[in-house]
Amino acid sequence: MSSVTSKPLFLRAAAGESTERPPIWLMRQAGRILPQYRALRQKFPDFKAFVKTPEAAAEATIQPVDELQVDAAIIFSDILVIPEAMGLDYEMIEAKGPKFPKTIENQGDIDILRSGTEAAANLEYVYQALRITKKELNGRVPLIGFAGAPWTILAYMVEGGGSKTFSKARRMLYAEPQQAHALLQKITDTTIAYLKQQVAAGADLIQLFDSWAGELAPAHYQAFAMPYLRQICDALPEVPKTIFAKGAWFALEDIGQSSCQVVGLDWNTSPAFAREKVGPQKVLQGNLDPCTLYADAKTIREETLRMIGAFQGKHIVNLGHGVYPDTPLDGVRVFVDTVKGMRYER
Ligand code: CP3
């Protein structure tokens, strides 16, 4: 239906244009929900080796487009490639998650980190994966590039992994605020250089994942997260930007004033509340509870249509967080097909 010259549905929606239906993609769609992903993953000794093989990363990126017919692809990589490029190595431990053998504890640890273009030069494998994907997609759907938001990256670098409380990272903001700002600025400089190269390699839209946004007090989000998100968005005028700040309903007004086009929502935030906070211009993305997809087909259809109704347009359909790896593929299919089969009433 769409010709090579017409702007794809996903990018029209991201630009705030009115569309015949909302586009749909899923956070974490390039991953373990797909049997073909699990098969490809088997060929590598670990997750990092997979991420660093551009041909394989491109294949994983395209798998959900082939299998589910989603309206956008997201490059297969991870937010933790940034700390590694800056000089802080991580391990991805099977069935557990990321672990940093060494963490950031003091100013000296921050001083020795690489940053900006020097750090971003270590991520050539991501740019190559984007170029290959772009070529293989051949205009079928737009390609989303991404990075972690500076606060979330700081949290991993200071905690050394996931955490129940993030008390080490939050403590740094109170006890050593200058160190926190120095680290956030280095992460930001690296992220900007990295994302500029992603755009040069073919990314059509950039999403910033602030997975641990909800851990911060509102004033801390304003002081330690927003200024860096603004710097990144302002540095990338060539493409639309999406800010997904999970749990940060309290920051929606500030995010609404940033230069991003799209605001991602978790399932705890109602579309009406978000619209009131961000104002009329922004496009909203989300926000079905990922657990909906474990329900029967009828329930998934009803919940999906109810959600779309609540957004009232200017909407990109997604889940409120990444799809859980054990989600039945049939549930995912019902979700995607429901959206692709509906039309807005005019
Ligand atoms: O969305 C996509 O399909 C693109 C690929 C993608 C991955 N990670 C692949 C991945 C994206 C966009 C991410 C982002 C990411 N990574 C975030 C932000 C989004 C969110 O979920 O809040 C975060 C916090 C990470 C860090 C991370 N990576 C963790 C905590 C884990 C372990 C937990 C888990 O899901 O297994 C990862 C590993 C990871 N990243 C996997 C995938 C497909 C699973 C590892 C595997 O296949 O062996």
Locate the domains of the chain by residue range.
4-341
Q: Are 86 and 186 in contact (CB under 8 A)?
A: yes
CA atoms within 13 A on the CB side of 39: 5
CATH class of the region 4-341: alpha beta
Which residue's CA is the closest to the ligand 1 atom numbered 24? Answer: 211
Contact 228, 254 (CB under 8 A): no
Among the atoms of ligand 1, which is closest to the Cα of residue 152? Answer: 24
**Atom of ligand 1 lying closest to residue 162 CA:** 30
Nearest Cα to Cα of residue 74 among 12, 121, 15, 27? 27
DSSP-derived 3-state class of residue 253? helix
Angle at which helix 54-68 crosses helix 124-137, to 10 degrees, equals 40
Q: Which of 62, 78, 93 to mutate to test the pocket of ligand 1 (most atoms within 8 A of CB)?
A: 78
Return d(Cα 40, Cα 275) in angstroms, integer.
40
Average pLDDT of the chain, as a whole number: 97
pLDDT digits (tens, 9 = 90+) for 279-333: 999 999 999 999 999 999 999 999 999 999 999 999 999 999 999 999 999 999 9
**What pLDDT does 5 receive?**
59
Residue to mutate (ligand 1; options 24, 26, 28, 198; most atoms within 8 A of CB):
28
CA torsion 27-29-32-38 (nearest 10°) is: -150
- Between CA 25 and CA 74 the distance in angstroms is 9
- Residue 202's φ and ψ, nearest 5 degrees, are 125, 0
What is the tens place of the pLDDT at every residue in 56-84?
999 999 999 999 999 999 999 999 999 99
How far is the centre of ligand 1, averaged over its atoms, from the C-alpha of 152 (Å)?
Answer: 13
Shortest-distance Cα residue to atom 2 of ligand 1: 28
Rounded to the nearest 10 degrees, the angle between the axes of helix 177-200 and helix 124-137 is 40
- Catalytic positions, please? 28, 32, 41, 78, 156
Please state, in angstroms and rounded to a whole number, the distance separating the CA atoms of residues 175 and 114: 24
Q: What tokens were used for 321?
A: 């967080």
pTM of the model: 0.97
The reply to whether ligand 1 has any atom less than 6 angstroms from the CB of 98 is yes
Give the pLDDT mean for 28-51: 97
Q: What is the DSSP letter of 15?
A: T
